[in-house]
Amino acid sequence: MRTPRSLLASVLALSAAGAAQADDDTFKYAMIDPFSGPAAVVTERIEKVLRFAVGEVNAAGGLNGEKIEILTFDNKMSAQETAIQAQKAIDAGARILQTSVSSSNTFALVDFVRKHNRRNPEDQVIVFDGASHDPAITGEKCSYYSFSWVLDADMKTAGLAAYLKDRPEIAKVYLLNAEGSSGQTSRASVLEMVGAARPDIEWVGDDTHPLQKITDFTPYIAKIRASGAQAVITSDWGADLALVLKAAGEAGLDAEWFTYFSTGPGAPTAMAQSGLDGLVYSVFDGDAGIRNAALEAHEQAFRDATGGQSASPFPGDSSALKALKLAADKAGSNDLDKLIPALEGMEFTTIFGAPAVVRPEDHQLVTQMAVSKFVPVDDGALDEEGTGWGWQNVALIPAETITLPSACEMDRP
Amino acid sequence: MSIDVLAFSLLNGTLYGMLLFLLASGLTLIFSMMGVLNFAHASFFMLGAYLGFEFSQGLGFFPALILAPLCVGLIGAGVERFGLRRVHRFGHLGELLFTFGLAFVIEEAVQMIWGRSPQAYPVPAALDFTAFEIFGTGYPAFRLFMLAVSAAIFAGLALLLNRTRVGLIVRASLTHPEMVSMLGHNVPLVFMSVFGAGSALAALGGVIAGPILVTQPSMAAGLGPILFVIVVVGGLGSLGGAFAASLIVGFIQTFAVAIDFSVADAFGLIGVTAPPAALGALLRDVWNVSVSQVGPVIPYLLLVAMLIFRPMGLAGKRA
């Protein structure tokens, strides 16, 4: 028994080592995200968007002739594991470490890389935050070595506040958020920003529920109905969002829903089933419902390549690769000490056809925001997850409206 | 609480409780008969939802309502016959670990077959209408159908266990397995049948819950813990206890949400409006937490209290 087992072990070790040091003349880009567990459905889609964007850059010659190679690392949705996997990624030669799914993992990665770069000035790496959207990542925790490629939660709330100014008939609003930092930060910023933009709004309810533990949301729907709310603002995501919207549809609740995460994988399926026609709004960086020829072409190409899924829920990866390619061209080198200054202030056009800039003082992406509603679409139009339903844009909020002052005090080398 | 919220909470609480009962009835029988806390029970529920989804796409919802539980029942019986029975000789810990592992295997298998994204499992067209209206709000027919199915299963199980010869043997095996075996009954067969039937009931719960909950790989993990609460609170081996506990948990979770009463309000009644500064930051945090926020935790508090004060549960015969 001993020999075959140790043989097997060494074969495994060898193949692992082989996978880790695949190719020496590529630019290695590590993706550190939960590839197992309930959040893996999100990672799956992010990986597709990232591979598609990298494929485009490589087809156009790569970064100064170097092809980008993606390495994947499973952080099992844990901050500790994120740091362990980050070290593995660096050992495998990665120069950019990207994480997207949870802001606590992003914080862990930013901290890890800050220390690593201080201790290894010859072997520095940078962090890309692909989708985690916590304002603190480019706020009090900001770092010279990290970049955020999506609008943060406060910018989206500012956009929602601006949109609600044009909807004066909405006067009674209900807040529904999960416990935990993401839900509670959103709740506080909605109360502050929407409250300031629309002081006449009456908050008819303010509920906090456990995160991803509830199977039956009908009691909340009964409560929302009894409160007379015309609209519900929720930062719920994943199963919580799907279940609450299905319960609302089933009960025939006619309140409007303003959501931050309804473009993500799985939500459109539940929303189409709920039958809430035109009642669910997405407050996000953008979606497939924006009328733009380049976006439609991009979406169509992505859908053809991946079997009908939408690229829009994760615009951060597309933006990151566009900016990276431009910065590498501008710097004429792939050295990080030339790439980072080139990335700062980089201007480019997002997949939504909107101008975007990497703000130099905090490395936060600044671009427009979209408010769209979910409706049945015509045959042949871009639908979501094969449901026959899709997004219809109702407002584009310009970048100036949602730009907030930077809270970053950056340590520059 | 206004009268319409009360009415809807009653309806929804009953329905959720009945759904929980469909799952808990099988679990409590298995637990009390074999001493196995079946961690994979909620996975059979999920399997039921997925098979129900698959069959209803090809054959329609009503055949799926029969076929999916049958398939899962067979799988459950197979698991008992070829898995649990072998592990049995290593004691209860081995059985526990076996079902624990099985839950992961089923979840991974479901992800490999159907993928990680939720499935579009719609309410069947025949039941997709409003059954009745109260206080200007429609109540969906499919929910009434769920209620009817659960009630029928409860009545059927109660009759089977209390009025038939099969029920007599099952009940005897619960309390005196050695004696039943010595009387010449095939106790392993009884175990296998009970495990299979329990799994089939969980699957039936899955088929009818799939369209209103979301059919996705994490649906088992979400429901598992609450089932253990019901089994323990209801009492080992007691179908009536499981029924009562299911309804209690259903009502607690439904009604708690509607109650916005907090510590601050309680003290407000006696004229105290701010937390005493001497009690520090911890109390200030607790001060404004309302019943609706802690609602989902109350069943677990009930579990702890029950284990301390009445370990045999509401209607259990053994501690």
- Dihedral of the alpha carbons of B130, B134, B136, B139, in degrees to the nearest 10: -30
- Nearest one of A119, A124, A79, A120 to A99, comparing CA atoms: A79
Predicted pLDDT of residue A13: 47
A180 touches chain B (CB under 8 A): no
Q: Is A254 exposed, middle or buried (0-12, 13-18, 19+ CB in 10 A)?
A: exposed
**Backbone torsions φ then ψ of A194, nearest 5 degrees:** -65, -35
Chain A residues touching residue B301 (CB < 8 angstroms): none
Which neighbouring-strand residues pair with A96? A29, A126
Whether residue B214 and residue A41 make contact (CB cut-off 8 A), yes or no, is no
3-state secondary structure of A284: strand
State the Cα–Cα distance between residues A16 and A21, nearest whole angstrom: 9
Secondary structure tally for chain B: helices H, strands E: 15, 2
CB nearest to A210's CB, from B13, B143, B296: B296
CB nearest to A216's CB, from B111, B117, B253: B253
CATH topology of domain A154-284+368-402: Rossmann fold (3.40.50)
State the Cα–Cα distance between residues A285 and A151, nearest whole angstrom: 6
Predicted pLDDT of residue A2: 42
State the Cα–Cα distance between residues A387 and B19, nearest whole angstrom: 28
Assess contact for B227 and B219: CB atoms under 8 A.
no
Q: Quick one: CA dihedral B107, B109, B112, B117, positive or negative?
A: negative
Tokens 């770069």, residue located: A117
Q: Do domains A4-151+293-366 and A154-284+368-402 have the same CATH topology?
A: yes
Predicted pLDDT of residue A16: 46
3-state secondary structure of A363: coil
Which residues numbered 249-308 in B keep a CB inside 8 Å of some CB on A? 253-258, 292-293, 296-297
Chain B residues touching residue A225 (CB < 8 angstroms): 137
Helix pair B298-309, B239-258: axis angle to 10 deg: 140
How many other CB atoms are found less than 10 A from the CB of residue A2? 6
Structure token digits, residue B312: 């045999």
State the Cα–Cα distance between residues A58 and A45, nearest whole angstrom: 20
How many other CB atoms are found less than 10 A from the CB of residue A247? 23
3-state secondary structure of A382: coil
| Chain B closest-CA separation from residue A78 CA (Å) | 18
Structure token digits, residue A28: 């290695």
**Backbone torsions φ then ψ of B311, nearest 5 degrees:** -60, -20
Report the amino acid identity of residue B208: I
Greatest distance between any 2 Cα atoms in chain A: 76
State the Cα–Cα distance between residues B172 and B313, nearest whole angstrom: 20
Assess contact for A278 and A253: CB atoms under 8 A.
no
State the Cα–Cα distance between residues A82 and A180, nearest whole angstrom: 20
pLDDT, averaged per 10 consecutive residues of chain B (319 residues), comes to 77 89 88 83 95 93 95 95 88 89 93 86 86 76 90 90 88 81 87 92 93 84 86 83 92 83 75 67 69 81 89 73
Chain centroid, CA A245 distance in Å: 21
First and final CA of chain A: distance in angstroms? 55
Long-range Cβ pairs for the range B150-154 (8 Å, 24+): B150/B15, B150/B18, B150/B19, B150/B21, B150/B22, B151/B18, B153/B22, B153/B25, B153/B201, B153/B204, B154/B18, B154/B21, B154/B25, B154/B243
Whether residue A222 and residue B255 make contact (CB cut-off 8 A), yes or no, is no
B120 touches chain A (CB under 8 A): yes
Contacts of residue A355, Cβ cutoff 8 Å, sequence gap at least 6: A347, A348, A349, A367, A368, A399
B212 touches chain A (CB under 8 A): yes
Report the amino acid identity of residue A335: D
How many other CB atoms are found less than 10 A from the CB of residue B318? 13
CB nearest to A273's CB, from B122, B137, B143: B122
Predicted pLDDT of residue B316: 72
Contacts of residue B248, Cβ cutoff 8 Å, sequence gap at least 6: B17, B233, B302
- Confidence check on the interface: ipTM exceeds 0.90, yes or no: no
Q: What architecture is domain A4-151+293-366?
A: 3-Layer(aba) Sandwich (3.40)
State the Cα–Cα distance between residues B96 and B93, nearest whole angstrom: 5
Predicted pLDDT of residue A245: 93
Assess contact for A242 and A268: CB atoms under 8 A.
no
Chain B residues touching residue A272 (CB < 8 angstroms): 120
Report the alpha-carbon angle B117-B123-B124, nearest 5: 125
> Mutating which of B257, B262, B291 best tests the A interface, going by the most A Cβ atoms within 10 A?
B257
- Nearest one of B292, B282, B216, B300 to A179, comparing CA atoms: B292
Domain boundaries defined on chain A: 4-151+293-366, 154-284+368-402
The single-letter DSSP state of residue B295 is G
State the Cα–Cα distance between residues A231 and A204, nearest whole angstrom: 10
Structure token digits, residue A328: 């590498």
Helix, strand, coil fractions of chain B, as percent rounded to 5 = 75, 5, 20
Helix or strand run (H / E) with residue A319: helix A315-331
State the Cα–Cα distance between residues A213 and B219, nearest whole angstrom: 10
Whether residue B253 and residue A40 make contact (CB cut-off 8 A), yes or no, is no
Contacts of residue A311, Cβ cutoff 8 Å, sequence gap at least 6: A48, A49, A52, A298, A299, A302, A303, A318, A351
| Chain B closest-CA separation from residue A343 CA (Å) | 35
**pLDDT tens, per residue, chain A with 413 residues:** 344 454 444 444 444 444 444 567 899 999 999 988 778 888 989 999 999 999 999 999 999 999 999 999 999 889 999 999 999 999 999 999 999 988 889 999 999 999 999 999 999 999 999 988 889 999 989 999 999 999 999 999 999 999 999 999 999 999 999 887 788 889 999 999 999 999 999 999 998 888 777 878 888 998 898 899 999 999 998 888 988 998 898 888 999 999 999 998 888 988 998 889 999 999 999 999 999 999 999 999 999 998 888 999 999 999 999 999 999 999 999 999 999 999 999 999 999 999 999 999 999 999 999 999 999 998 878 999 888 999 999 999 999 999 999 999 998 88
CB nearest to B8's CB, from A212, A222, A269: A222
Tokens 């933009």, residue located: A197
CB nearest to B222's CB, from A215, A250, A270: A215
Predicted pLDDT of residue A345: 95
Whether residue A222 and residue B118 make contact (CB cut-off 8 A), yes or no, is no
Predicted pLDDT of residue B161: 86
State the Cα–Cα distance between residues B46 and B43, nearest whole angstrom: 5
